[in-house]
Amino acid sequence: MAANLVGKFLNLMGFEETVVEEVVAEEEEVQLAPTKRERGRAKVVGLPSAPSGSKVVIVQPESFEAAQAIADHLKSRRTVVVNLEGMDEVTSQRIVDFVSGAAFALNGSVERVGDEIFLFAPSNVDIVAQHKEPEAAAFPWLR
DSSP string, 53-76: T--EEEE--SSTTHHHHHHHHHHT
The residue that leads in pLDDT, 9 or 137, is 9
Write down the pLDDT at residue 115: 87
Please list the residue range(s) of the chain that carry CATH number 3.30.110.150: 56-121
Write down the pLDDT at residue 54: 74
- The model's confidence at residue 128, banded by pLDDT at 50, 70 and 90, is confident
Write down the pLDDT at residue 4: 72
| pTM for the whole structure | 0.56
Residue 52, pLDDT > 70, answer: no
> Which fold, 56-121?
Translation Initiation Factor IF3 (3.30.110)
Mean local confidence (pLDDT), 58-82: 92
What backbone torsions phi and psi does residue 66 show, to the nearest 5 degrees? -70, -15
The predicted-structure confidence for 74-95, as pLDDT tens digits, reads as follows 999 999 999 999 899 999 999 9
Residue 45, pLDDT > 60, answer: yes
- The model's confidence at residue 40, banded by pLDDT at 50, 70 and 90, is low
Average pLDDT, the chain: 75
Closest CA to 67 of 39, 41, 98, 42: 98
Mean local confidence (pLDDT), 62-68: 92
Rg (CA), the chain: 28
Write down the pLDDT at residue 126: 82
